[in-house]
Amino acid sequence: MLTEIRIESLGAISVAVGEFGRGLTVLTGETGTGKTMVVTGLHLLGGARADATRVRSGADRAVVEGRFTTTDFDDETAAQLDSVLESLGAERDEDGSVIALRSVSRDGPSRAYLGGRSVPAKSLGDFTAELLTLHGQNDQLRLMRPEEQRGALDRFAAAGPALERYRKLREAWLSARRDLIERRDHARELAQEADRLKFALNEIDSVDPQPAEDEALVADIRRLSELDTLREAAAAARTALSADDTDAFGSSAVDSLGRARTALESADDATLRALAEQISQALTVVTDAGQELGDYLEQLPVDASALESKLARQAQLRTLTRKYAADIDGVLRWAQESRERLAQIDVSEEGIAALERRVDELARELCDAAVDLSNLRRKAAKRLAKAVTAELAGLAMGDAEFTIGVTTDVASDQDDPATLTLPSGELARAGGDGVDQVEFGFAAHRGMTVLPLAKSASGGELSRVMLALEAVLAASAAGTTMVFDEVDAGVGGRAAVQIGRRLARLARTHQVIVVTHLPQVAAYGDVHLVVHAAGPRGTSVVQRVTGDDRVAELARMLAGLGESDSGRAHARELLDAAQNDEI
């Protein structure tokens, strides 16, 4: 639920704060005062594209801030919202609400914030999509598009899982079909590629390089190149430490340390005995070092023939690194990728036949998924059309008829790569949303020919069709805030009263915010906000009105009679009737 919105420097609004409660909130005001800017602000919080021209003249940027609560949602939806917040690092306010903010700069990019963290505008929209459902005059026009009509039907039918299954199978089918076509059309090129890969892999396998072997060889070759020097140094060091006979200085280090330890251990003095212990430790280290030097000397090659072997091996590895990668680890990665690619290249008759069977199998599974989706839509279409027609009757259109046609999207060309042969024998185009065409039909009066909605509904009729459709679909959007921007355009009289009643009924289960010019609709509001000019330079403010102020606003809306007694009497009568209406 939206509890508060704050708008700064957006259109005609300099600074305005609107507080919303549960039920129906109506937003009214003279034309040009900025009522629609409230809806524009909500669109911005919904991740819509920022328009720098909306920034108020003289300001550097416009800011829209909304405060939302999520306590009205079911556990699953609440968990999804918490997951989005956690993934973005956003935090709730102290009262558990979530603050969303959008800043639009006159010269620079827009900025989006959620729960105190800077986020992409799309991420902000992903969060608020569960909280806000926005309907404006542009949405009425979108309702005439086939894809919007299909989306509304799928929403009513809860077709998400069936549609997802269809899309996954379609993607797998198209991928396998493209692979089959590629193998057939490019068999020669693929065979040549396979031969090149086999030759290269045979060359690599014959050398059998090991991970990081080229680096190890460099160290070994450096050691072998200095073999005599290394042997002489190691031998001299070993002799000095632990030779059997005395060195040039008269004895080995081991002998000298041994005599020193013996001399100190014979003394009856604590300090000397401590030093004897240290010498004993040094003697252990020297003895170990002598043994390690002996092992080192034994491992050194006797002659330089090992160097030639290492150099030859290095030459083999360099042949591979010149052709396939910068180092041996890269060569091994290239070989692994090439083996995977080679496994995919099979232009043999057996391989192509196996792929043909795979394509046919996926086509059958896709047909089953498409038929299941179509049946689901056709069954739901009858129920949705009946429910919307009943809603229209409650909107002073008792003679109206609303229909939903679900027909097969027949393929115009059998060679179309997305053509499916359905069990009925029809050739259908397997589009991204199924094999169906969905079309809303409408007739304002019985006896009239039902025509496509785009050709048969006036502006006012289209407004009521959209409201009726939303009223039926409301159950699938429980907990959301529904915003209607002049949904009553082109409507008046008894129809306006019925729209007000329908919005009030919808507000029993949803928070509903509506921008309206009609007093018959405004009278049904639980909260009445007025946008009016106040101050210099056309500044507008949002003010909540109650009591006599609300009566005066309704009187103004009736016929500009806000100051007349007759206008106020008429407005009070209208308000009393709406508030006492048993909806």
In this predicted model, what pLDDT tens digit does every residue of 60-79 receive, in sequence order?
899 999 999 887 777 777 78
Work out the pLDDT band at 440, boundaries 50, 70, 90.
very high
CA distance 523 to 167: 47
**pLDDT at 246 > cutoff 50:** no
State the pLDDT at residue 220: 78
CA distance 453 to 462: 8
Cβ–Cβ under 8 Å, residues 236 and 249: no
The burial class, CB within 10 Å (0-12 / 13-18 / 19+), for 57 is: exposed
**pLDDT at 270 > cutoff 90:** no
Distances (CA, A) of 210 to 207, 308, 309, 319: 9, 19, 16, 15
- DSSP label at residue 450: P
Residue 467, SS3 per DSSP: helix
pLDDT, mean of residues 267-272: 80
326 Cβ partners below 8 Å, 6+ apart? none
pLDDT, mean of residues 336-350: 79
CA distance 429 to 417: 9
Closest CA to 480 of 148, 129, 99: 129
The H or E element containing residue 499 is helix 493-506
* Highest averaged pLDDT of the listed ranges 178-187, 237-246, 327-336, 343-352: 327-336
CA distance 311 to 213: 13
CA distance 50 to 389: 38
Work out the pLDDT band at 222, boundaries 50, 70, 90.
confident
pLDDT digits over 74-107, tens only? 777 778 888 888 888 888 888 888 999 999 998 8
CA distance 553 to 123: 39
CA distance 411 to 430: 8
Cβ neighbours around 217 below 10 Å, total: 17
Residue type, 492: G
pLDDT, mean of residues 320-342: 91
Place of tokens 């002659």: 303
Distances (CA, A) of 407 to 46, 397, 449, 457: 34, 27, 19, 22
State the pLDDT at residue 472: 87
Lookup: tokens for 185: 């059309």
Cβ neighbours around 252 below 10 Å, total: 21
